[in-house]
Amino acid sequence: MAHFPQKILLLGSTGSIGTSALNCIRRYRERFSVTGLAAGRNHKLLQKQICEFRPEAVYIADPLEAERLQNEFDRIRVYSGSEGLVELVKQTKCDIVLNALVGAIGFRPTVTALQCNRRVALANKESLVMGGDYICQLLSGGKGKLLPVDSEHSAILQCLNGAESSTVESIILTASGGPFRNLEKEKFSSITPEQALTHPTWAMGKKITIDSATLMNKGFEVIEAHHLFSLPYSKLKVWIHPQSIIHSMVEFHDGAVLAQLGVPDMELPIQYALSFPQRFSIKGKRLSLPEIGRLDFSEPDLDRFPCLRLCLEAGQMGGTAPAVVNASNEVAVQAFLEGKIKFNEIAEIVAFALRTHKNTPADSVEIIEETDRLTRGNIFKNILTKR
């Protein structure tokens, strides 16, 4: 049984997942306390969070902002720079590291937290996409514990409920299909960032919202599920489910199918990851199936959404291929948001990166991070600088 209050180190505290996590902590102040916070650029919100939650240590990316925060809050430790996140994780005493960072920057803190034998509530899906094999080696060696924050993987965890993987016939991860699930492929080139940032059911940050529109996000989640639940890709399926009510399903070898349902609210899986194996109450909107009326499902169109296909191919290739997809996608999504490329060119850039990569085993942090760096350089040199 866990002791209370559980000390939380929250990485990505000013983002969508981070602010939702702080709502959960506010709800149960007697059960959770904040021992550390990390933010990227939103120093004003971080400052407010410091005043409210009184952590012992914080991280801000900009060294100048870090100096300013240190002068204002002289009782706390302030970290910044490229190694600051790792030092924050190493030096901050906590029970749970909630990694809500966005992108490849979250990989090293996840590894560090596990090496420090911490319990990690993982919302940073890039950690498992980039280095799932390496992270699983740490876990199998008795280093730390990993719990999913994504609604889909939280749903799978709840449906499995400790069942042996040998009893699982398949796992179905659901996807809303994004805002363009019914749009003709010929119109994809004219999609604007503003249109792509309008998600039909979930409120999320910019990067994951674009990934949801391309279905790259669902590909990442398949790779995550492969590592989290030790299942082959042949047992992992994706269904389009526009209502986003069923978050995932598990089909067992006797034909029984268990599904986890709930309103699309990220505070539910976040709080479950923090309270696991207990379940704390949340006041709010409840699921009413009669009000919804119907639940629809369909197979994804891999021709219209090639990012999903590319991600699944990279997952099956293994090695450093998933890290290549992740890095190239990050660069392409940012270029799209900045108006430098078209929506349909995101997949083209990822395909180029995967095609020109020589796959190798991803058996060290250094190899994984070097793959990330080289992939980004490859895209900037051969594609973006020529536009």
Model confidence over 295-327: pLDDT tens digits? 999 999 999 999 999 999 999 999 999 999 999
Unique residue bearing structure tokens 């120093």 = 43
Q: How far is CA 348 from CA 20, 329, 351, in A?
A: 34, 10, 5
Unique residue bearing structure tokens 């059960």 = 31
Provide mean pLDDT across the span 1-11.
Answer: 90
Instruction: With beta carbons less than 8 A apart as the criterion, state whether 130 and 107 touch.
Output: yes
Residues of CATH 3.40.50.720 domain(s) within the chain? 6-148
Predicted pLDDT at 387: 67
Residue 125 φ then ψ, to 5°: -65, -25
Q: Which CATH class is domain 6-148?
A: alpha beta
The helix/strand count (H/E) of the chain reads as 16, 11
Residue 34 φ then ψ, to 5°: -100, 120
pLDDT digits (tens, 9 = 90+) for 70-128: 999 999 999 999 899 999 999 999 999 999 999 999 999 999 999 999 999 999 999 99
H helical segments located in 73-106: 84-91
Q: Residue 228 — very low, low, confident or very high, per pLDDT cuts 50/70/90? A: very high
pLDDT digits (tens, 9 = 90+) for 175-216: 999 999 999 999 999 999 999 998 777 778 899 999 999 999
Residues of CATH 1.10.1740.10 domain(s) within the chain? 153-264+286-386
DSSP 195: H
Weakest mean pLDDT among 1-5, 211-215, 221-225:
1-5
Pick the CATH number of 153-264+286-386 from 3.10.310.10, 1.10.1740.10, 1.10.1060.10, 2.30.40.10: 1.10.1740.10
Taking CB atoms within 8 Å and a gap of at least 24, the contacts of 185-192 are: 185/303, 185/304, 188/304, 188/342, 188/343, 188/344, 189/342, 189/343, 189/344, 190/342, 191/342, 191/343, 191/344
pLDDT at 384 exceeding the cut of 90: no
How far apart (Å, rounded) are the C-alpha atoms in residues 2 and 31?
10
